[in-house]
Structure 1
Amino acid sequence: MGLLSFIKEAGEKLFGGSSAHAAEPGANPDAAASAAIKTYIETQNLGLTDLIVAYAGATGVVTLSGKAPSQEASEKAGLAAGNVANVTSVDNQLVAPEAPAAQYHDVVRGDTLSAISKKYYGDANKYNAIFEANKPMLTHPDKIYPGQKLRIPPLK
């Protein structure tokens, strides 16, 4: 899938500071952050297998590898990893069946799913396609925030 960029200050607060808090002196904060991101991705129930997550705190880059059951699952995993505070980009190397790739939208202040739908589909009433494409990361169509990156799927 490639490299996606994200806003470092936006997203889920899975670990604190500029990198993960080490549980014990001498512990590897990047390994702790990698484990936290992996756990977060796994809670999305995307059907990934052999998932490996590597976080480099110095650069804020997350690398994903393993297998995804679909292009959609791969894209959602990349978004889940990238919509975490302190992550600047995701190098998504998940292997998935070929399918049309989605577009992405960076949410800005004042955005609504209806407005985003109007921009990409020409119809504000198709906002539910965007909402469904970003579940379970989105829990309600009105709960999006600036800095978040959303998946805009091709219409079927």
Structure 2
Amino acid sequence: MGLFSFIKNAGAKVFGYKTDAEKAAEAAAVSAAGEAARKAAEAAAALKIRQTILDLELKVEDLKVSIDDDVATVTGKAYDTTEKEKIILVVGNSEGIATVDDRMEVEHELGEATFHTVEKGDTLSKIAKAVYGDAMKYPVIFEANKPMLKHPDKIYPGQVLRIPALEK
């Protein structure tokens, strides 16, 4: 459990929001109705994120996702540590989310992976070389991030990836 930080505007679009500049231009017009619209957008985004997690068939019971501003809170019972980490990444890699407040329980504790934020020019091979000392270990990272990653070449700056320890 804990707080995980992400790059707010680097992830998948779930809010239907505008850019930060567009939001700032509209901020002057925010009223009680504007606040209600923001809350409705947050609730809709939370439902979309929850549905994405379910569509990915990640193993979790009683999953709940709520959003307040740029903080997403996740509760439920994940099958294991790997599933929990994947759920955190689905939530955190959504555009508009800067922090994930993990309040999930875990049924089966496993060793935790580390997280890596993709930088411009990164590839899974480059990350594997830096982390494991062997660029050819990139499939380990790819497999650890499935089903969120569909192809090893489809990563983007700001995306956060799971980096598991190598089995001995």
When normalised by structure 1's length, the TM-score is 0.90
The equivalent of 1:145 in structure 2 is 156
Structure 1 residues 128 and 28, CA, compared in 2 at 3 Å: closer, same or farther?
same
The equivalent of 1:33 in structure 2 is 45
Query: Aligned-pair distance for 1:98?
Result: 1.8
The equivalent of 2:14 in structure 1 is 14
Three-state SS of the structure 1 residue aligned to 2:129 is helix
The equivalent of 1:2 in structure 2 is 2
Q: Which has the higher helix share?
A: 2
RMSD (Å) for aligned C-alpha atoms: 1.8
Alpha-carbon distance between aligned partners in 2 of 1:107 and 1:134, rounded to the nearest angstrom: 13
Three-state SS of the structure 2 residue aligned to 1:54 is strand
When normalised by structure 2's length, the TM-score is 0.84
Q: Which structure has the larger Rg?
A: 2
* Counterpart code for 1:48: V
Alpha-carbon distance between aligned partners in 1 of 2:140 and 2:38, rounded to the nearest angstrom: 46
Q: Structure 2 regions of 5+ residues with no counterpart?
A: 19-33
Query: Aligned-pair distance for 1:27?
Result: 7.1
Query: Aligned-pair distance for 1:131?
Result: 0.2
The equivalent of 1:111 in structure 2 is 122
The equivalent of 2:29 in structure 1 is none
Identity %: 49
Structure 1 residues 122 and 62, CA, compared in 2 at 3 Å: closer, same or farther?
same
The number of aligned residues is 150
Three-state SS of the structure 1 residue aligned to 2:139 is helix
Q: Structure 1 regions of 5+ residues with no counterpart?
A: none
